[in-house]
Amino acid sequence: MSLRVDHVGVAAADVAASRAFYTALLAGEATTRAGHTLVSAGGVHLAIVPRGPADPVGVAHGHHLALALPASERPALEARLAALGAPWEDVRGRLYTRDPDGMAVEFLFD
């Protein structure tokens, strides 16, 4: 399987403050992508999203691991999710599931 980390999601109470912090800390560049505030530095990408009022502490909606793989591998991924009994949903062409501890895992397809 050809796999790479696309970005790491960070839920923030104050997106602007987190954007300024991570941009300065990583000497990075901030942009917007797919509704996320994205801070990039080198090969690291942080997607900063607002923490929702109903998000449980430690498992906020914005905390997630995003992995990218070729679109041709999507059927095999869906089969593995089914074999694991892991529910998933398609959101704008991306697949989302949760790990056993409840962390969201997002799959993007090139």
Residue 22, φ and ψ in degrees, nearest 5? -70, -35
- The two tokens of residue 59 are 């498992």
Question: pTM of the predicted model, to two decimals?
Answer: 0.64
Q: Half-sphere exposure of 99 toward its Cβ, with a 13 Å CA cutoff?
A: 12
pLDDT (tens digit per residue) in 4-13: 888 888 888 8
**DSSP H/E element including 48:** strand 44-50
pLDDT (tens digit per residue) in 23-74: 887 788 999 988 889 999 888 898 988 888 887 766 666 778 788 889 999 9
Which of the pair, 94 or 51, is modelled with greater confidence? 94
pLDDT of residue 32: 92
Angle at the Cα of 79 (from 95 to 81), degrees rounded to 5? 55
Residue 47, φ and ψ in degrees, nearest 5? -100, 110
> Domains (ranges, CATH) in the chain?
4-109 (3.10.180.10)
pLDDT of residue 95: 93
